[in-house]
Structure 1
Amino acid sequence: MLDAKALRIELGGREVLRGVDLQIGPGWTAIVGPNGAGKSTLLRALAGLLQPQHGRVQLTGQALTQWSAPERAQRLAWMAQQGETSGELSVRETVELGRIAHLGLAGVPGVRDREAVERALARCEAQAWTERRLHELSGGERQRVLLARALATEAPLLLLDEPTTHLDAPHQVALARLFRELAQEGRGVVSVLHDLALALQADRVVVLSAGAVVADGGPQDPALQRALEAVFGHAVRVETGGCGRPQIHLNLEAPPCPPAP
């Protein structure tokens, strides 16, 4: 679906990404790393929102820059860490914005568009407050609305920057289940996550440190687990639980993390 080669990005005189190679296909990929590792910058580059100084990104074999904005939006949905919303829009109106890629700004929604919006609302458990204004919602509720807007595009690839922000534990679990469902449907989900326990539920984990990929593999991969412990200064340890899934434990004896470069 998405192929990034030798990405280098400098922001404010600092090299944020250093020669990143990454291929994304169907399945759920979690990108993790300490603060300042370049996670959000990488996701913005993959979405075409940030132009690298070196390297390239291809979407289904064609340079990302060669797709028109509507074509790209139909294939790739983006959710920002701090999504822009208008407090005067209703929940339904916000989610309907996800259909602009198919309708254009002046298009009239049809049956397929309405069905896509309803499915997205249902998958994000947001049907109960479709007529409420965004400013009337909690942070977690708004987050679910923004995710529904991304889902409404029906794009085969979703790039989500910290989608669990403001979500309580039950809704984080529901989100993980949703990502697994989308992966089983053949869609690609790429999520930047700070919650390592949640990230280890993904099909694939990409560990970023100081702008470079230091590990890339399944959660059960011992090399990936060791890299995960190392980049967080051994403040966490990874152990395999009784269910066979790796689990994260805090290591309270670890020294404080060094400041981000």
Structure 2
Amino acid sequence: MGPVPVRPPMLVAHGLQVRLGERVVVRGIDLEFDAGWTAVVGPNGAGKSTLLRALAGLQPLESGEVRLDGHVLSAWSPRQRACRLAWLAQQGDASGELTVHDVVRLGRLPHVGLFGHPSREDERAVERAMADTGCVPWRHRRLGELSGGERQRVLLARALAVQSPVLLLDEPTTHLDPPHQIALVRRMASLARDEGRTVVSVLHELSLALAADRLVVMAAGQVHAVGHPGDPLVQRTLVEVFGGAIRIESVPRSDAPDMVQWVVLPRL
């Protein structure tokens, strides 16, 4: 029996560099993302959102390349890429006149096509995504009638409805209250650990980010550390890039006292 072929990482950034005007905002980044949840963190202006847009193919590159499932991103047709990679922008957009159900249904567009008719499988994906984000009670309301937090949950549901192997989420907890932040964190963990998906999220809430499988710590357009949230080097780097304004503490988990969770506290 011959050697088992090695499958490439689902998403790869090699030599990634992005310039906005006269300023280089992402500098020579090499990263690999496979099944699991990676949280990208760092201070304002670190280049986190620009990196995520570049990984999604939405940001022109000065140099380097992005590979999705072993192929250069540009080799995929827009529809093929949209089936494999779901994207949530920091400021998500959708028409305020569409109902919640119609907005979430847009997540199935790459599978159905512009003039196709949704199948039972498509409808099940939409219903599951709405249930996961708590959107079902207002499925018939228009997006423009919703609060900021409700709207964010609908746009999250749209991304989840794609059922893509890769999810790129830029500040997905924006406008969400603590119960829905926790629900989202648990869903990201479940997608990554139970369903084997590749989830990459930029997060402002550092204590939530420390629940991820892996942290990418950025500052000034560069990656300063990559590793498990409990890694002392990763934690030390995280404190350094925030200028020592934070500290990281461990507390016992209420559901598993023999395990800890990491929390970030301001250093007052």
Same fold (TM over 0.5): yes
**2:211 maps to which residue?**
201
**2:224 maps to which residue?**
214
One-letter amino acid matched to 1:231? V
Give 1:180 deviation, angstroms. Answer: 1.1
Q: Does 1:112 align with 2:128?
A: no
| Distance (Å, rounded) in 2 between the aligned partners of 1:35 and 1:238 | 19
| Distance (Å, rounded) in 2 between the aligned partners of 1:154 and 1:239 | 35
One-letter amino acid matched to 2:207? A
Query: Aligned ranges for residues 37-52 of structure 1 at < 5 Å?
Result: 37-52=46-61
Query: Aligned ranges for residues 51-70 of structure 1 at < 5 Å?
Result: 51-70=60-79
**1:256 maps to which residue?**
none
**TM-score w.r.t. structure 2 length?**
0.93
1:189 equivalent among 199, 220, 240:
199
2:180 equivalent among 161, 164, 171:
171
**TM-score w.r.t. structure 1 length?**
0.95
What do residues 16-61 of structure 1 show as CA deviations (whole Å, max 9, x unaligned)? 0010111111111100000000000000000000121110000011
Give 1:12 deviation, angstroms. Answer: 1.6
One-letter amino acid matched to 1:132? R
2:266 equivalent among 250, 254, 260:
250
1:127 equivalent among 136, 139, 149:
136
Give 1:125 deviation, angstroms. Answer: 1.0
One-letter amino acid matched to 1:37? A
One-letter amino acid matched to 1:248? V
**Structure 2: which 5+ runs fail to align?**
1-9, 254-259
Give 1:103 deviation, angstroms. Answer: 1.2
**1:259 maps to which residue?**
none
| Stretches (4+) displaced over 3 A | none
2:20 equivalent among 11, 29, 39:
11
**1:102 maps to which residue?**
111
Give 1:239 deviation, angstroms. Answer: 1.9
What do residues 189-210 of structure 1 show as CA deviations (whole Å, max 9, x unaligned)? 1110010010001111100100
Give 1:85 deviation, angstroms. Answer: 1.2
One-letter amino acid matched to 2:225? A
The alignment partner of 2:208 has SS state of helix
| Distance (Å, rounded) in 1 between the aligned partners of 2:76 and 2:174 | 30
| Distance (Å, rounded) in 2 between the aligned partners of 1:246 and 1:170 | 18
Q: Does 1:77 align with 2:78?
A: no
The alignment partner of 1:245 has SS state of strand
| Distance (Å, rounded) in 1 between the aligned partners of 2:241 and 2:130 | 37
Give 1:242 deviation, angstroms. Answer: 3.0
| Distance (Å, rounded) in 1 between the aligned partners of 2:247 and 2:144 | 40
Query: Aligned ranges for residues 142-161 of structure 1 at < 5 Å?
Result: 142-161=151-170
Give 1:245 deviation, angstroms. Answer: 2.1
The alignment partner of 1:140 has SS state of helix
1:236 equivalent among 227, 235, 246:
246
**1:91 maps to which residue?**
100
1:36 equivalent among 28, 45, 53:
45
| Distance (Å, rounded) in 1 between the aligned partners of 2:207 and 2:61 | 31
Percent identity for Structure 1 against Structure 2: 59
**1:226 maps to which residue?**
236
| Distance (Å, rounded) in 2 between the aligned partners of 1:4 and 1:106 | 34
Give 1:2 deviation, angstroms. Answer: 0.2
